[in-house]
Structure 1
Amino acid sequence: MTQTSQNQTAIEVIKERHSVRQYESGVKIPEADLQEILSLAASAPSSWNLQHWRFLVIQDEANKQKLLPIAYNQQQVVDASAVVIVLGDLQANLVAPEVYASATPEIRDMMVKQIEGAYANNPQLARDEAIRNASYAAMQLMLAAKAKGYDSVPMGGYNPAALIQEFNIPERYVPTLMLPIGKAAKAARPTERLPLAQQVINERF
Protein backbone atom coordinates (compact mmCIF):
# COMPACT_ATOMS: atom_id res chain seq x y z
CA MET A 1 0.00 0.00 0.00
CA THR A 2 1.40 3.38 -0.99
CA GLN A 3 1.65 6.32 1.37
CA THR A 4 -1.11 8.09 -0.57
CA SER A 5 -3.51 5.15 -0.24
CA GLN A 6 -2.67 4.81 3.46
CA ASN A 7 -3.52 8.49 3.96
CA GLN A 8 -6.78 8.05 2.02
CA THR A 9 -7.70 5.09 4.21
CA ALA A 10 -7.10 7.08 7.39
CA ILE A 11 -9.15 10.00 6.05
CA GLU A 12 -12.00 7.69 5.04
CA VAL A 13 -12.09 6.06 8.49
CA ILE A 14 -12.27 9.46 10.18
CA LYS A 15 -15.04 10.63 7.86
CA GLU A 16 -17.03 7.40 8.14
CA ARG A 17 -16.93 7.17 11.94
CA HIS A 18 -20.27 8.24 13.39
CA SER A 19 -21.99 7.53 16.69
CA VAL A 20 -24.23 4.50 16.23
CA ARG A 21 -26.91 3.82 18.85
CA GLN A 22 -28.63 0.75 17.43
CA TYR A 23 -26.71 -2.53 17.11
CA GLU A 24 -27.31 -6.02 15.81
CA SER A 25 -27.71 -8.11 18.93
CA GLY A 26 -25.96 -11.47 19.20
CA VAL A 27 -22.94 -10.44 17.11
CA LYS A 28 -19.64 -11.50 18.66
CA ILE A 29 -16.42 -9.71 17.80
CA PRO A 30 -13.69 -12.29 17.12
CA GLU A 31 -11.10 -12.19 19.88
CA ALA A 32 -8.32 -11.39 17.40
CA ASP A 33 -10.23 -8.34 16.14
CA LEU A 34 -10.99 -7.13 19.66
CA GLN A 35 -7.39 -7.52 20.77
CA GLU A 36 -6.15 -5.62 17.72
CA ILE A 37 -8.62 -2.79 18.37
CA LEU A 38 -7.53 -2.55 22.01
CA SER A 39 -3.86 -2.76 21.05
CA LEU A 40 -4.26 0.08 18.56
CA ALA A 41 -6.10 2.13 21.18
CA ALA A 42 -3.31 1.48 23.67
CA SER A 43 -0.77 2.97 21.25
CA ALA A 44 -2.25 6.44 21.86
CA PRO A 45 0.03 9.19 23.15
CA SER A 46 0.09 10.04 26.85
CA SER A 47 1.76 12.49 29.20
CA TRP A 48 5.18 11.15 30.24
CA ASN A 49 4.14 7.93 28.42
CA LEU A 50 2.30 6.84 31.58
CA GLN A 51 -0.58 5.31 29.56
CA HIS A 52 -3.25 6.50 31.97
CA TRP A 53 -6.07 4.41 30.45
CA ARG A 54 -7.44 1.05 31.50
CA PHE A 55 -10.07 -0.80 29.45
CA LEU A 56 -12.78 -2.68 31.34
CA VAL A 57 -14.27 -4.88 28.61
CA ILE A 58 -17.82 -6.18 29.09
CA GLN A 59 -18.98 -8.96 26.73
CA ASP A 60 -20.87 -11.35 29.01
CA GLU A 61 -24.62 -11.02 28.49
CA ALA A 62 -25.37 -11.06 32.22
CA ASN A 63 -22.92 -8.24 32.82
CA LYS A 64 -24.34 -6.22 29.92
CA GLN A 65 -27.76 -6.57 31.54
CA LYS A 66 -26.25 -5.17 34.75
CA LEU A 67 -25.04 -2.20 32.72
CA LEU A 68 -28.52 -1.43 31.43
CA PRO A 69 -29.92 0.38 34.50
CA ILE A 70 -26.54 1.98 35.14
CA ALA A 71 -26.73 3.44 31.62
CA TYR A 72 -30.29 4.67 32.24
CA ASN A 73 -31.74 1.83 30.14
CA GLN A 74 -29.98 2.78 26.92
CA GLN A 75 -30.41 -0.40 24.88
CA GLN A 76 -27.09 -0.13 23.02
CA VAL A 77 -25.16 -1.40 26.03
CA VAL A 78 -27.02 -4.71 25.75
CA ASP A 79 -27.21 -5.07 21.96
CA ALA A 80 -23.61 -4.08 21.19
CA SER A 81 -21.04 -6.85 20.92
CA ALA A 82 -18.91 -5.36 23.66
CA VAL A 83 -18.91 -2.35 25.93
CA VAL A 84 -15.53 -0.91 26.79
CA ILE A 85 -15.45 1.19 29.95
CA VAL A 86 -12.55 3.57 29.51
CA LEU A 87 -11.00 4.31 32.89
CA GLY A 88 -8.44 6.95 33.77
CA ASP A 89 -5.65 6.14 36.22
CA LEU A 90 -5.48 8.67 39.06
CA GLN A 91 -2.20 7.13 40.22
CA ALA A 92 -0.48 6.79 36.87
CA ASN A 93 2.67 8.17 38.48
CA LEU A 94 3.13 4.79 40.17
CA VAL A 95 3.91 3.09 36.85
CA ALA A 96 6.76 5.50 36.03
CA PRO A 97 9.55 3.16 37.23
CA GLU A 98 8.14 0.41 35.00
CA VAL A 99 7.71 2.72 32.00
CA TYR A 100 11.30 3.92 32.28
CA ALA A 101 12.83 0.58 33.31
CA SER A 102 14.88 0.30 30.11
CA ALA A 103 16.17 3.88 30.25
CA THR A 104 19.56 4.75 31.62
CA PRO A 105 19.59 5.16 35.42
CA GLU A 106 20.13 8.89 35.00
CA ILE A 107 17.15 9.35 32.70
CA ARG A 108 14.96 7.01 34.75
CA ASP A 109 15.72 8.84 37.99
CA MET A 110 15.20 12.23 36.37
CA MET A 111 11.83 11.28 34.84
CA VAL A 112 10.52 9.54 37.95
CA LYS A 113 11.50 12.54 40.08
CA GLN A 114 9.83 14.94 37.62
CA ILE A 115 6.62 12.90 37.56
CA GLU A 116 6.47 12.45 41.32
CA GLY A 117 7.03 16.17 41.77
CA ALA A 118 4.16 16.99 39.44
CA TYR A 119 1.77 14.56 41.14
CA ALA A 120 2.72 15.36 44.74
CA ASN A 121 -0.22 16.89 46.62
CA ASN A 122 -1.93 17.70 43.33
CA PRO A 123 -5.12 15.62 42.96
CA GLN A 124 -6.49 18.05 40.37
CA LEU A 125 -3.55 17.37 38.06
CA ALA A 126 -3.92 13.63 38.62
CA ARG A 127 -7.60 13.79 37.66
CA ASP A 128 -7.02 16.09 34.68
CA GLU A 129 -4.26 13.84 33.36
CA ALA A 130 -6.31 10.69 33.91
CA ILE A 131 -9.29 12.01 31.94
CA ARG A 132 -7.29 13.81 29.26
CA ASN A 133 -5.04 10.89 28.42
CA ALA A 134 -7.79 8.27 28.64
CA SER A 135 -9.68 10.39 26.11
CA TYR A 136 -6.82 10.08 23.62
CA ALA A 137 -7.07 6.31 23.86
CA ALA A 138 -10.87 6.38 23.62
CA MET A 139 -10.81 8.33 20.35
CA GLN A 140 -8.15 6.03 18.95
CA LEU A 141 -10.26 3.04 20.01
CA MET A 142 -13.27 4.36 18.08
CA LEU A 143 -11.18 4.88 14.95
CA ALA A 144 -9.56 1.46 15.27
CA ALA A 145 -12.98 -0.15 15.63
CA LYS A 146 -14.22 1.62 12.50
CA ALA A 147 -11.14 0.57 10.57
CA LYS A 148 -11.91 -3.05 11.51
CA GLY A 149 -15.53 -2.72 10.33
CA TYR A 150 -17.27 -2.03 13.64
CA ASP A 151 -19.24 0.95 14.87
CA SER A 152 -19.22 2.60 18.27
CA VAL A 153 -20.71 5.38 20.34
CA PRO A 154 -19.09 7.34 23.20
CA MET A 155 -21.46 7.51 26.16
CA GLY A 156 -21.32 9.89 29.08
CA GLY A 157 -24.89 9.16 30.16
CA TYR A 158 -24.50 6.67 32.99
CA ASN A 159 -24.31 6.57 36.78
CA PRO A 160 -20.59 6.51 37.69
CA ALA A 161 -21.17 5.60 41.34
CA ALA A 162 -23.37 2.64 40.40
CA LEU A 163 -20.85 1.53 37.77
CA ILE A 164 -18.01 1.63 40.29
CA GLN A 165 -20.00 -0.35 42.84
CA GLU A 166 -21.38 -2.98 40.45
CA PHE A 167 -18.05 -3.76 38.79
CA ASN A 168 -15.85 -3.27 41.84
CA ILE A 169 -13.72 -0.56 40.21
CA PRO A 170 -10.86 0.46 42.54
CA GLU A 171 -10.67 4.05 43.78
CA ARG A 172 -7.52 4.46 41.72
CA TYR A 173 -9.55 4.57 38.50
CA VAL A 174 -12.11 7.15 37.34
CA PRO A 175 -14.67 6.16 34.68
CA THR A 176 -14.41 8.53 31.72
CA LEU A 177 -16.91 7.02 29.29
CA MET A 178 -18.71 3.89 28.10
CA LEU A 179 -17.99 2.77 24.57
CA PRO A 180 -20.36 0.19 23.01
CA ILE A 181 -18.84 -1.48 19.93
CA GLY A 182 -20.56 -3.70 17.38
CA LYS A 183 -22.32 -3.96 14.04
CA ALA A 184 -24.80 -1.19 13.28
CA ALA A 185 -28.44 -2.25 12.98
CA LYS A 186 -29.33 1.25 11.83
CA ALA A 187 -27.11 3.92 10.37
CA ALA A 188 -26.11 6.83 12.54
CA ARG A 189 -28.19 9.99 12.30
CA PRO A 190 -26.61 12.73 10.21
CA THR A 191 -25.15 15.42 12.44
CA GLU A 192 -24.73 19.10 11.74
CA ARG A 193 -21.27 20.57 12.12
CA LEU A 194 -20.44 24.15 12.91
CA PRO A 195 -18.55 25.93 10.12
CA LEU A 196 -14.82 25.52 10.51
CA ALA A 197 -14.45 29.28 10.58
CA GLN A 198 -16.53 29.25 13.76
CA GLN A 199 -14.31 26.64 15.38
CA VAL A 200 -10.85 27.89 14.47
CA ILE A 201 -9.22 30.97 15.99
CA ASN A 202 -6.09 32.05 14.20
CA GLU A 203 -3.27 33.39 16.34
CA ARG A 204 -5.37 35.03 19.10
CA PHE A 205 -8.86 36.12 20.09
Structure 2
Amino acid sequence: MSHFINNDFSDILLHRHSVRHFDPTVKISREELQEMIAEAITAPSACNLQPWRFVIIDTEAAKDVLRSFFMPFNTPQLETAAAIVFIFGDTQAYKSYRDLWNQACEDGRISPEKRDEVLKTFLPLYEAASYEGLVHDAKTNSSLAAMQLMLVARAHGYDTNAIQGYNSKVAAEKLGLDPERYVPNMAIAIGKADLIHLNKEVQSSRYSVDEVSRFL
Protein backbone atom coordinates (compact mmCIF):
# COMPACT_ATOMS: atom_id res chain seq x y z
CA MET A 1 0.00 0.00 0.00
CA SER A 2 1.31 3.43 -0.93
CA HIS A 3 2.33 5.81 1.84
CA PHE A 4 1.04 8.88 0.00
CA ILE A 5 0.46 11.64 2.49
CA ASN A 6 -0.11 14.24 -0.18
CA ASN A 7 -2.63 13.52 -2.93
CA ASP A 8 -2.94 17.14 -4.05
CA PHE A 9 -1.46 16.91 -7.53
CA SER A 10 -1.27 20.65 -8.05
CA ASP A 11 0.72 21.02 -4.85
CA ILE A 12 2.98 18.08 -5.70
CA LEU A 13 3.70 19.46 -9.17
CA LEU A 14 3.75 23.22 -8.75
CA HIS A 15 5.34 23.50 -5.32
CA ARG A 16 8.12 20.98 -5.85
CA HIS A 17 11.51 22.63 -5.74
CA SER A 18 15.12 21.57 -5.33
CA VAL A 19 16.37 21.31 -1.76
CA ARG A 20 20.09 21.41 -1.01
CA HIS A 21 20.00 21.07 2.77
CA PHE A 22 18.02 18.25 4.33
CA ASP A 23 17.21 17.45 7.94
CA PRO A 24 19.93 14.89 8.76
CA THR A 25 17.82 13.34 11.53
CA VAL A 26 15.18 12.15 9.06
CA LYS A 27 15.59 8.55 7.89
CA ILE A 28 13.63 6.66 5.25
CA SER A 29 13.18 2.92 5.55
CA ARG A 30 14.41 0.71 2.74
CA GLU A 31 10.90 -0.64 2.40
CA GLU A 32 9.55 2.84 1.67
CA LEU A 33 12.41 3.60 -0.72
CA GLN A 34 11.61 0.41 -2.63
CA GLU A 35 7.95 1.39 -2.62
CA MET A 36 8.76 4.78 -4.12
CA ILE A 37 10.85 3.17 -6.84
CA ALA A 38 8.05 0.71 -7.60
CA GLU A 39 5.74 3.69 -8.08
CA ALA A 40 8.31 5.59 -10.13
CA ILE A 41 8.80 2.76 -12.63
CA THR A 42 5.19 2.97 -13.71
CA ALA A 43 6.65 5.72 -15.93
CA PRO A 44 6.38 5.18 -19.68
CA SER A 45 9.29 4.16 -21.88
CA ALA A 46 9.71 3.76 -25.61
CA CYS A 47 8.53 0.30 -26.70
CA ASN A 48 8.06 -0.47 -22.98
CA LEU A 49 11.78 -1.20 -22.82
CA GLN A 50 12.11 0.11 -19.23
CA PRO A 51 15.85 0.86 -19.59
CA TRP A 52 16.44 2.11 -16.06
CA ARG A 53 18.43 0.84 -13.11
CA PHE A 54 18.57 2.28 -9.59
CA VAL A 55 21.39 2.22 -7.05
CA ILE A 56 20.23 3.34 -3.61
CA ILE A 57 22.81 4.87 -1.29
CA ASP A 58 21.66 5.09 2.33
CA THR A 59 24.74 4.16 4.39
CA GLU A 60 27.84 6.12 5.33
CA ALA A 61 30.07 3.55 3.62
CA ALA A 62 28.15 3.99 0.36
CA LYS A 63 28.21 7.78 0.73
CA ASP A 64 31.99 7.54 0.99
CA VAL A 65 31.97 6.09 -2.52
CA LEU A 66 29.94 9.05 -3.77
CA ARG A 67 32.29 11.47 -2.02
CA SER A 68 35.10 10.13 -4.21
CA PHE A 69 33.53 11.35 -7.46
CA PHE A 70 30.89 13.97 -6.53
CA MET A 71 31.68 17.62 -7.13
CA PRO A 72 32.15 19.64 -3.91
CA PHE A 73 29.16 21.93 -4.47
CA ASN A 74 26.87 18.92 -4.01
CA THR A 75 28.26 18.18 -0.55
CA PRO A 76 25.23 19.58 1.36
CA GLN A 77 22.83 17.16 -0.32
CA LEU A 78 25.19 14.23 0.01
CA GLU A 79 25.86 14.82 3.68
CA THR A 80 22.29 15.50 4.82
CA ALA A 81 19.89 13.53 2.57
CA ALA A 82 18.28 10.39 3.93
CA ALA A 83 19.19 8.61 0.70
CA ILE A 84 20.68 9.23 -2.73
CA VAL A 85 19.08 7.29 -5.57
CA PHE A 86 21.43 7.01 -8.55
CA ILE A 87 19.61 6.37 -11.81
CA PHE A 88 21.35 4.72 -14.73
CA GLY A 89 20.19 4.02 -18.25
CA ASP A 90 20.57 0.42 -19.41
CA THR A 91 21.87 0.26 -22.98
CA GLN A 92 21.28 -3.50 -23.10
CA ALA A 93 17.72 -3.51 -21.81
CA TYR A 94 16.57 -4.78 -25.20
CA LYS A 95 18.30 -8.12 -24.52
CA SER A 96 15.56 -8.89 -21.97
CA TYR A 97 12.81 -7.62 -24.25
CA ARG A 98 11.85 -11.07 -25.55
CA ASP A 99 11.58 -12.43 -22.00
CA LEU A 100 9.33 -9.50 -21.01
CA TRP A 101 6.81 -10.16 -23.77
CA ASN A 102 6.98 -13.94 -23.46
CA GLN A 103 6.01 -13.55 -19.80
CA ALA A 104 3.15 -11.24 -20.75
CA CYS A 105 1.96 -13.90 -23.19
CA GLU A 106 2.22 -16.67 -20.58
CA ASP A 107 0.23 -14.50 -18.16
CA GLY A 108 -2.53 -14.11 -20.74
CA ARG A 109 -2.08 -10.35 -21.03
CA ILE A 110 -1.24 -10.54 -24.72
CA SER A 111 -1.92 -13.07 -27.45
CA PRO A 112 0.94 -15.02 -29.07
CA GLU A 113 0.17 -13.25 -32.35
CA LYS A 114 0.38 -9.80 -30.75
CA ARG A 115 3.58 -10.77 -28.93
CA ASP A 116 5.19 -11.85 -32.17
CA GLU A 117 4.06 -8.63 -33.84
CA VAL A 118 5.58 -6.51 -31.06
CA LEU A 119 8.88 -8.39 -31.14
CA LYS A 120 9.09 -8.29 -34.92
CA THR A 121 8.37 -4.56 -34.97
CA PHE A 122 10.56 -3.22 -32.18
CA LEU A 123 13.31 -5.68 -31.30
CA PRO A 124 15.17 -5.39 -34.64
CA LEU A 125 15.39 -1.61 -34.16
CA TYR A 126 17.41 -2.05 -30.98
CA GLU A 127 19.48 -4.96 -32.25
CA ALA A 128 20.60 -2.83 -35.21
CA ALA A 129 21.04 0.42 -33.25
CA SER A 130 24.40 2.09 -32.73
CA TYR A 131 25.85 2.33 -29.24
CA GLU A 132 25.31 6.10 -29.34
CA GLY A 133 21.65 5.51 -30.20
CA LEU A 134 21.25 3.05 -27.35
CA VAL A 135 22.82 5.53 -24.92
CA HIS A 136 20.46 8.28 -26.07
CA ASP A 137 17.44 5.99 -25.72
CA ALA A 138 18.50 4.75 -22.28
CA LYS A 139 19.14 8.22 -20.89
CA THR A 140 15.97 9.74 -22.38
CA ASN A 141 13.68 7.04 -21.07
CA SER A 142 15.30 6.72 -17.64
CA SER A 143 14.77 10.47 -17.26
CA LEU A 144 11.02 9.82 -17.25
CA ALA A 145 11.41 7.50 -14.27
CA ALA A 146 13.70 10.03 -12.57
CA MET A 147 11.16 12.85 -12.79
CA GLN A 148 8.41 10.53 -11.65
CA LEU A 149 10.51 9.50 -8.65
CA MET A 150 10.81 13.14 -7.57
CA LEU A 151 7.04 13.60 -7.75
CA VAL A 152 6.43 10.30 -5.97
CA ALA A 153 8.83 11.33 -3.21
CA ARG A 154 6.88 14.55 -2.72
CA ALA A 155 3.65 12.58 -2.50
CA HIS A 156 5.32 10.59 0.28
CA GLY A 157 6.07 13.84 2.08
CA TYR A 158 9.74 14.20 1.11
CA ASP A 159 11.82 16.73 -0.80
CA THR A 160 14.38 16.05 -3.52
CA ASN A 161 17.31 17.43 -5.42
CA ALA A 162 18.39 16.21 -8.86
CA ILE A 163 22.18 16.01 -9.12
CA GLN A 164 24.40 15.81 -12.19
CA GLY A 165 27.51 17.33 -10.65
CA TYR A 166 29.75 14.26 -10.56
CA ASN A 167 32.39 12.52 -12.67
CA SER A 168 30.17 10.62 -15.07
CA LYS A 169 33.13 8.66 -16.47
CA VAL A 170 33.60 6.72 -13.25
CA ALA A 171 30.09 6.66 -11.75
CA ALA A 172 29.01 3.22 -12.96
CA GLU A 173 32.27 1.47 -12.10
CA LYS A 174 32.45 3.13 -8.68
CA LEU A 175 28.96 1.82 -7.92
CA GLY A 176 29.67 -1.70 -9.13
CA LEU A 177 28.06 -1.56 -12.56
CA ASP A 178 29.37 -2.33 -16.04
CA PRO A 179 30.30 1.13 -17.40
CA GLU A 180 29.75 0.04 -21.01
CA ARG A 181 26.23 -1.14 -20.32
CA TYR A 182 25.04 1.36 -17.72
CA VAL A 183 25.21 5.10 -18.40
CA PRO A 184 24.67 7.56 -15.52
CA ASN A 185 21.63 9.77 -15.85
CA MET A 186 21.34 11.57 -12.52
CA ALA A 187 21.39 11.12 -8.78
CA ILE A 188 18.39 12.19 -6.72
CA ALA A 189 18.81 13.21 -3.09
CA ILE A 190 15.72 12.44 -1.00
CA GLY A 191 14.83 13.58 2.50
CA LYS A 192 13.00 16.33 4.36
CA ALA A 193 14.06 19.90 3.90
CA ASP A 194 15.94 21.60 6.71
CA LEU A 195 13.53 24.47 7.28
CA ILE A 196 16.22 26.81 8.60
CA HIS A 197 18.22 26.53 5.39
CA LEU A 198 15.11 26.39 3.23
CA ASN A 199 14.19 29.95 4.11
CA LYS A 200 17.66 31.11 3.02
CA GLU A 201 17.76 29.31 -0.31
CA VAL A 202 17.15 31.24 -3.51
CA GLN A 203 13.85 30.37 -5.15
CA SER A 204 14.50 29.73 -8.82
CA SER A 205 12.48 31.47 -11.50
CA ARG A 206 11.22 30.13 -14.82
CA TYR A 207 11.22 31.53 -18.33
CA SER A 208 7.83 32.52 -19.70
CA VAL A 209 5.89 30.09 -21.85
CA ASP A 210 6.35 32.41 -24.84
CA GLU A 211 10.12 32.19 -24.47
CA VAL A 212 10.26 28.40 -24.51
CA SER A 213 7.45 27.39 -26.87
CA ARG A 214 5.82 28.17 -30.16
CA PHE A 215 2.92 26.90 -32.20
CA LEU A 216 3.32 25.63 -35.76
TM-score (norm 2): 0.85
Aligned residues: 196
Contact 1:72 1:157 in 2 (8 A): yes
8 Å contact 1:93–1:115 — kept in the other structure?
no
Give, as a single letter, the amino acid of the residue that structure 1 aligns with 2:172.
Answer: I
The code of the aligned residue for 1:118 comes to L
How big is the shift at 1:59?
0.7
Runs of 4+ in 1 over 3 A off after TM superposition: none
SS of the aligned residue for 1:14 comes to: helix
Matched residue, 1:192: 205
1:105 corresponding residue in structure 2? 112
Q: 1:159 aligns with which of 140, 164, 167?
A: 167
Q: Which amino acid in structure 1 is aligned with residue 212 of structure 2?
A: Q
Contact 1:131 1:176 in 2 (8 A): yes
Instruction: Write the mapping of 1:118-133 to structure 2, written as runs, cut at 5 A.
Output: 118-119=125-126, 120-133=128-141
* Alignment CA distance shift 1:196-1:66 (3 Å): same
The alpha-carbon distance between structure 1 residues 124 and 166, as it changes in their structure 2 partners (threshold 3 A), is closer
User: CA RMSD of the aligned region, Å?
Assistant: 1.6
Distance, in Å, in 1 between the alignment partners of 2:33 and 2:82 is: 10
- Could you tell me which runs of 5 or more consecutive residues in structure 2 were left unpaired when the two chains were aligned: 1-6
Q: Is the 8 A contact 1:68 1:78 kept in 2?
A: no
Quote the Cα distance in structure 1 between the aligned partners of 2:20 and 2:67. 14
Deviations 1:59-82 (A, max 9, x none): 111111221231123221232111
For residues 157 and 193 of structure 1, what CA distance do their matches in structure 2 show?
Answer: 21
What is the aligned partner in structure 2 of residue 85 from structure 1?
86
SS at match of 2:68: helix
| Partner deviation per Cα, 1:107-127 (whole Å, 9 max, x = no partner) | 222222322321114223211
Deviations 1:43-96 (A, max 9, x none): 000111111111111111111122123112322123211111101010121121
Say which SS state the counterpart of residue 26 (structure 2) adopts: coil
Structure 2 vs 1, CA of residues 111 and 175 (structure 1 numbering), >3 Å: closer, same or farther? same
> Identity of counterpart residues, as a percentage?
35
Shift in Å, 1:36: 2.2
**Distance of 2:153 and 2:14 partners within structure 1:** 13
Deviations 1:157-180 (A, max 9, x none): 101223222222113111101111
Distance 2:209 2:115 in 1: 43
Provide the C-alpha distance between the structure 2 equivalents of 1:29 and 1:104, rounded to a whole number of angstroms: 41
Give the 5 Å matches for 1:33-182. Answer: 33-73=32-72, 74-75=74-75, 76-101=77-102, 102=105, 103-119=110-126, 120-170=128-178, 171-182=180-191
TM-score under structure 1 normalisation? 0.89
SS of 1:153's equivalent in the other structure is strand
Cα distance in 2 for residues equivalent to 1:161 and 1:124: 15
The aligned residue for residue 5 of structure 1 is none
Is 2:27 aligned against 1:20? no
